[in-house]
Structure 1
Amino acid sequence: MNNFLQPPRLRIGEDTEEERRATWLELFYDLVFVVAVSQVAHNLKEDISLSGLLGFVVLFIPIWWSWIGTTFYANRFDNDDIVHRLLVGVQMLTAAAMAVNIHHGLGESSPGFALAYALGRAVLVVEYIRAGIHIPSARPLTTRYAIGFAIASIIWLISAIFPVPWRFILWGLGIIIDFATPLTARKFQVGLLPHASHLPERFGLFTIIVLGEAIIAVVNGVSQQKWDVLTVLSAIFGLAIAFCWWWVYFDNLGGTPIETARKEGKVGTVNIWLYTHLPLVIGIAATGVGVEQILLSPPTVALPDSQRWLICGSVALCSFAVAILHRYGVIRYCKIRSLYRFSGALVLIAIAIIGKGLLPVAVIALVALVSAVQVIQDLYQSRPTTRLADPEI
């Protein structure tokens, strides 16, 4: 520890910004979310239906937003003193408590889940108040964030004493306020845009966390089946899907949205980047569940409709989200790549619609093929001769 007791400091801005990497504390903090994502994915495995998918999304959003809150604070104000470490430690406890309460998170454990989320947001409010006290130039932003997140935290807190369905209505209201708070502070963000190298790395690390669920799914699925040709092929295709979307995402990742916003004085691109990552990581996490369900299905029996829709719909959601990121220049700006991503999503939906009666290996093979085409297209377009011919690459 370099600073035993130091006030928060501004880590961004053209005059103070230096190359940054994720700290050891941030990486340790991420471990709690590995468990939380695994737990919410387990819930979906137990109920592959529309209601199960809705429950998965409802529980996933607060988990992701908790991570986002701590990440954005550290991106701007991290000082690694003892107070910051202790506050992050408390946030880890709240995230762990959320993970513990996920299994029956929409039932008997929902009050505990709400209380854990509310406490985590309250700690974030304390962090922003502390930053505002010591950094006057950031006070308008920190005050707006502290007020908005505090209101949301209180709503989540009181939701624990309300019965269902009012409890979930309050959850919805609380998360809307949480999501809206950064949008209402856009004018205060212009001079305090996130760090251009640190934030893309942090988003990439969370993407790795959810991609890890697909790897775990393959291992779990194969370990519970007898080894035969169809099972092995399905496992290979499952790994290929994860590998392809790792390739597509990280080969196009960069700090472009922050740099563009800084040059143009606009924060809209950064907000598109932030909120579009939600469907992306939801899609990746659900893909892992879909892969495992295919591997656990009888290899010589047609894949059930719900499982076919899960794997095709999840990867289609990933493709659609990446298409938006391409289209608005949030990752590598390229209309051609955006078009391929949109087209890939439509093809996957078509497979879900017309693929009734297909064996599990056939469905996962088609999904892997669509994913591989995205990588092949990127490789083809990245050829030196193509890059010189097309300015949008």
Structure 2
Amino acid sequence: MKGWLQVPRLRIGEEAADEHRHATWLELFYDLVYVVAVSQIAHYLYEDTSLKGFLGFVFLFVPVWWAWIGTTFYANRFDSDDIKHRLLTGLQMLAVAALAVNIHHGLSESSAGFAIAYAVTRFTLVLEYLRVIKHIPEARGLAKYYCFGFSIAAILWLISAFIPIPIRFVLWGLGLAVDFITGITAKRFQVALLPHPEHLPERFGLFTIIVLGEAIIAVVHGVSEQKWDTQSAISAVFGFSIAFSLWWIYFENVSGSILSANVDRKLGLIQVWLYGHLPLVIGLATTGVGVEKVIMSNVNQALPTPYRWLICGGVAMCMLSLSILHRTGLIFRCKVRAKYRLGAAAILIFLAVVGISLQPIAIIGLVAFVCATQVLEDLYQSGELSTAKD
């Protein structure tokens, strides 16, 4: 019965910053529903690999990602394991599950259901912040500001469900803009309530793992759908190595984040951390679809242009995002690694442009090679640092 009596509590500040925090069992359970949502979004892109299909994929991906961001930042600052919070989290999970159900036709006949589901995720978050207003005086300014902005965004999404296409999508864009602007313009309240420096990188890392999982699923599914032969097997190995390399260069460096080190935690850098991860996770999801398309392509013909751009462009987006995170120190600060990531992105875009006549195994092999060089460069840099210290 103790859980009934708990209220939201502030989980940040000078004392809390020294507290070792990890994702709770509830947060890990909550993430499970995003496994399904990300899978459905990837399937949407798999069904339509044209430029229009990719833009639609991004348009559906952003609100799903933003719903996760809202809950994550709330839990980072105000997490409490009381029954009300558990029930509201359960409601959020149902709403995200509804998002996933409506993704496949999310820009056509299921768009109204998608809009209502997203509105429910935002209204539920507003209920969480109303509890903060009631119980945590020092956070009332931030909570009121968020309640106002997020409510306006949720209302726009809800109204859009009853407005015909394409005006419906205009309201979606306005709603997302209000959501983003609310977070960006709340600096005067956020500066005294900076997120917990240890918990935040872990949560973002877990979402990155969820999206990386799509690349592994793509390898397994692609091979299972193909007649087993040598080239398919080699392509599958290359596909796995791409996912493994991306995991390596992200998680090998994330422990060097200035957020985790609790040094110079400026609000602007936290926002770069937040928005800098968006192209990374979009790129990872795109890469997974690209890997599957490559494995399932005719090995004796040139890889179709949309598939070539999926795998090359997806990995290039990841490299560009990692370059920004390296440059700002939001993962291990290293100008050399930032340059290597940027160079890798340029090479991959070049490959997408000129690789018109290359077969699938050649494309995926070259992408895997570029990714592997990034791992080797990191190992070399780490070895240099160790030698210098000795």
Q: Which residue of 1 aligns with 2:228?
A: 227
1: CA distance, partners of 2:347 / 2:179: 35
TM-score by length of 1: 0.96
Q: Quote the offset at 1:5 in angstroms.
A: 2.7
1: CA distance, partners of 2:216 / 2:385: 36
Give the letter aligned to residue 297 of structure 1. S
Q: Quote the offset at 1:256 in angstroms.
A: 3.3
| Greater displacement, 3-12 / 107-116 | 3-12
1: CA distance, partners of 2:378 / 2:385: 13
Q: Quote the offset at 1:280 in angstroms.
A: 0.4
Secondary structure, counterpart of 2:320 in structure 1: helix
Matched, 1:367 2:367: yes
Cα deviation code 1:42-81 (max 9, x no counterpart): 0111111000001100000000000111111011101110
**CA contact under 8 A between 1:197 and 1:255: conserved in structure 2?**
no
Please give the residue correspondences for 1:104-253 in structure 2 after superposition, counting only pairs within 5 Å. 104-253=105-254
TM-score by length of 2: 0.97
1: CA distance, partners of 2:230 / 2:26: 44
Q: Which residue of 1 aligns with 2:353?
A: 353
Q: Which residue of 1 aligns with 2:296?
A: 296
Q: Which runs of 5+ in 1 are unaligned?
A: none
Q: Quote the offset at 1:385 in angstroms.
A: 4.9
Secondary structure, counterpart of 1:205 in structure 2: helix
Q: Which residue of 2 aligns with 1:380?
A: 380
Q: Quote the offset at 1:180 in angstroms.
A: 1.2
* Root mean square deviation, CA, Å: 1.4
- Matched residue count: 388
Cα deviation code 1:306-330 (max 9, x no counterpart): 1001100000000000000011111
Q: CA 1:159 to 1:385, structure 2 compared with 1: closer, same or farther past 3 Å?
A: closer
Cα deviation code 1:132-163 (max 9, x no counterpart): 21111111111111111111001111011111
Q: Quote the offset at 1:196 in angstroms.
A: 1.1
**CA contact under 8 A between 1:196 and 1:255: conserved in structure 2?**
no
Secondary structure, counterpart of 1:367 in structure 2: helix
Q: Quote the offset at 1:257 in angstroms.
A: 3.9
Q: Which residue of 2 aligns with 1:4?
A: 4
2: CA distance, partners of 1:327 / 1:155: 37
Give the letter aligned to residue 225 of structure 2. Q
Secondary structure, counterpart of 2:14 in structure 1: coil
Secondary structure, counterpart of 1:4 in structure 2: helix
Give the letter aligned to residue 166 of structure 2. P
Cα deviation code 1:257-309 (max 9, x no counterpart): 4368x754630000000001111000000100000000110111110011001
**CA contact under 8 A between 1:381 and 1:387: conserved in structure 2?**
no
Q: Quote the offset at 1:226 in angstroms.
A: 1.1
1: CA distance, partners of 2:169 / 2:129: 27
Q: Which residue of 2 aligns with 1:27?
A: 28
Q: Quote the offset at 1:215 in angstroms.
A: 0.3
2: CA distance, partners of 1:263 / 1:233: 44
Q: Quote the offset at 1:255 in angstroms.
A: 7.1
1: CA distance, partners of 2:310 / 2:302: 15
Q: CA 1:385 to 1:188, structure 2 compared with 1: closer, same or farther past 3 Å?
A: closer
Cα deviation code 1:332-354 (max 9, x no counterpart): 11111100000000000010011
2: CA distance, partners of 1:385 / 1:313: 32
Q: CA 1:265 to 1:333, structure 2 compared with 1: closer, same or farther past 3 Å?
A: closer
Q: Which runs of 5+ in 2 are unaligned?
A: none
Cα deviation code 1:94-132 (max 9, x no counterpart): 000000000100000000000000011001011011112
**CA contact under 8 A between 1:121 and 1:153: conserved in structure 2?**
yes
Cα deviation code 1:155-178 (max 9, x no counterpart): 111011111111001100100111
Q: Which residue of 2 aligns with 1:15?
A: 15
**CA contact under 8 A between 1:312 and 1:351: conserved in structure 2?**
yes
Q: Quote the offset at 1:388 in angstroms.
A: 2.7
Give the letter aligned to residue 35 of structure 1. V
